[in-house]
Structure 1
């Protein structure tokens, strides 16, 4: 008999700051899988699903989903290959994140700042790969210290 052990990522409580060392990226707004456990959905933005679709009720940016994902990969680190799951495996520096609570399932909505590229949500919108989602942006500011 083979026993499989699965670690379930917990949602980081709202308002809590945490560290995320990126290990993989799914699409332009996440999830970003962190070495420390959390799976981050970038707060305040929407990107197309990896198949090019947009979910009902979500903003639907024009950016190509693969280009969007690849841009997020470059913002957090360097691609080291593809996982069997379809995630891009990345190596990058630890980021500072602040939780906005659950993003559904075991994902944490968070605004994250990478030492490589600043505030990820701001960069994705600024660079045209995602669209600001006012409902979840909630007054977030993109100042010079986060870009």
Structure 2
């Protein structure tokens, strides 16, 4: 399996794609996929790694390490930590729908994991992330893509 850690193309909005998670940065991503994309979980906001919330973003109560751990558990199993601070993960392939660019080299996406269902909805239900109405739109929680 080829793992792309440096190049990450943006998946066009509306396109479905698969993501086998290999790394997680914080509670709302990016999730690095073995297939190449880096996913910013759509419709939610989590605290930054330093514990702050960006101005204009919803701010959940969960601390950043808890939020990151919840996301890791939703997409797979933690296998270690990279020297950059990413949680290294091994998880089942998720099915995702792109919402387009999420800034930088990140693709915004709604993803469903065979392990935990709709990732955005599970993050909100857990309290690890806050629903971001500006980006949530008419999304409906689901178990299948």
Q: TM-score range by the shorter chain?
A: over 0.9
Superposition map of 1:6-17 within 5 A = 7-17=6-16
Q: Which runs of no fewer than 5 residues in structure 1 stay unpaired?
A: 1-5
Runs of 4 or more off by more than 6 Å in structure 1? none
Q: How many residues align?
A: 140
Unaligned 5+ segments in structure 2 are none
CA–CA distance in structure 2, aligned partners of residues 68 and 138 of structure 1 = 22
How many angstroms does 1:129 deviate by? 0.7
Instruction: Return the alpha-carbon distance in structure 2 between the equivalents of residues 105 and 7 of structure 1.
Output: 13
What is the TM-score with the length of structure 1 in the denominator? Answer: 0.93
1:47 and 1:7 map into 2 onto residues whose CA distance is 24
Q: Secondary structure at the match of 2:22?
A: strand
Residues 63-116 of structure 1, C-alpha deviation per residue, up to 9 Å, x if partnerless?
Answer: 111001001100100000000110000000000000000000000000000000
Corresponding residue for residue 25 of structure 1: 24
Number of the residue aligned with 1:53: 52
Query: TM-score, normalization: structure 2?
Result: 0.94
Larger-gyration structure (1/2): 1
